[in-house]
C-alpha cells in the first residue's frame, strides 16, 4: 500500500537519520546531505573525508551522540562523521561479526547494512543483509594500537550504479 510519494535532491536514497532538526541523507557517494525535514530540500552537503581522502559508498546512517554514523558499503566499517564538516572522527571496525557468522556456517550473508541506536537505553545494534542475527554491541577503546591501514580496510573505490 502506497501512502505518499516524495522527491528529494540526492542522486539516490541509501540512508536517512535525524538529530530531531535536520535529516541527514546518503546516496552511496561520499556526500552527506543535510535536508529540511518538511520540504526534503537539500540545505547543504558535506563531502565526507578521512585524513583528507574522500570516504565513498556511504550507506545506512544513524545519528548517535552528535555524530552521524555511516556504514561504508562492501566493508565491515562504520564511519563516525562530524555533521558540521563531514570529517571522520573515528571508525567502528566489525569484521569479527562477519567472521563469527561464517564460522557458524552462515555462507550466504551479505554486507553490513544496519545501524540502530536506542537512545533511551543507550544501546547500539548492527546487522547486515541476509544476516540471521541482530547484534547488540558495546564499544570499547582498542586495547592495543591499531597497525592496519584504515584506507585499505574501510575506504573502497567509489561504486557507480546506472540510474534508470
Which tens digit of pLDDT belongs to each residue from 103-156?
Answer: 999 989 998 999 999 999 999 999 999 999 999 999 887 777 777 899 999 998
Q: Is residue 29 situated within a structural domain?
A: yes
Give the per-residue pLDDT at 103. Answer: 94
Q: Is residue 109 part of a domain?
A: yes
pLDDT of residue 8: 66
Residue 7 has pLDDT above 70, yes or no: no
- Looking at the domain assignment, is residue 155 inside a domain? no
- Listing DSSP states for 31-84 in one string gives EEEEE-TTT--EEEEEE-EETTEE---EEEEEEETTEEEEEETTSSEEEEE-TT
Q: What is the pLDDT of residue 163?
A: 56
* Domain count across the chain: 1
Q: Classify residue 76 as exposed, middle or buried by CB count within 10 Å of its CB (0-12, 13-18, 19+).
A: buried
151 belongs to a structural domain: no
Asked if the model's pLDDT at residue 11 lies above 80, the reply is no
In a domain, 115, yes or no: yes
**124: Cβ contacts below 8 Å, ≥ 6 apart:** 64, 115, 116, 117, 118, 136, 137, 138, 139
Mean pLDDT of 46-53: 97
Q: What is the mean pLDDT of residues 25-40?
A: 93
Q: What's the domain range around 28?
A: 15-138
The whole-number pLDDT of residue 128 equals: 92
Query: What's the predicted TM-score (pTM) here?
Result: 0.89
Reply yes or no on whether the pLDDT at 160 is more than 80: no
Convert the pLDDT of each residue in 71-105 to its tens digit: 999 999 999 999 999 999 999 999 999 999 999 99
Whether residue 10 has pLDDT greater than 90: no
Q: Evaluate whether residue 7 is within a structural domain.
A: no
**Residue 46 pLDDT greater than 80, yes or no:** yes
CATH number of the CATH domain containing 116:
2.130.10.10
In a domain, 32, yes or no: yes
Q: Is residue 158 part of a domain?
A: no
Flag whether pLDDT at 2 surpasses 90: no
Between residues 157 and 32, which one has the greater pLDDT?
Answer: 32
Amino acid at each position: 500500500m502506497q501512502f505518499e510519494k516524495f522527491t528529494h535532491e540526492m542522486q539516490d536514497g541509501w540512508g536517512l537519520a535525524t538529530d530531531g532538526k535536520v535529516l541527514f541523507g546518503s546516496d552511496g557517494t561520499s556526500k552527506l546531505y543535510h535536508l529540511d525535514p518538511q520540504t526534503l530540500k537539500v540545505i547543504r552537503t558535506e563531502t565526507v573525508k578521512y585524513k583528507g581522502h574522500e570516504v565513498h559508498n556511504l550507506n545506512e546512517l544513524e545519528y548517535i551522540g552528535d555524530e552521524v554514523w555511516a556504514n561504508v558499503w562492501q566493508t565491515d566499517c562504520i564511519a563516525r562523521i562530524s555533521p558540521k564538516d563531514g570529517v571522520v572522527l573515528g571508525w567502528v571496525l566489525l569484521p569479527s561479526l562477519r567472521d563469527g557468522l561464517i564460522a557458524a556456517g552462515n555462507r550466504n550473508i551479505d554486507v553490513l547494512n544496519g545501524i540502530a541506536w536506542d537512545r533511551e537505553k543507550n544501546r547500539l545494534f548492527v546487522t547486515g543483509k541476509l544476516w540471521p542475527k541482530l547484534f547488540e554491541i558495546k564499544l570499547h577503546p582498542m586495547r592495543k594500537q591499531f597497525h592496519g591501514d584504515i584506507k585499505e580496510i574501510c575506504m573502497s573505490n567509489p561504486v557507480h550504479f546506472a540510474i534508470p
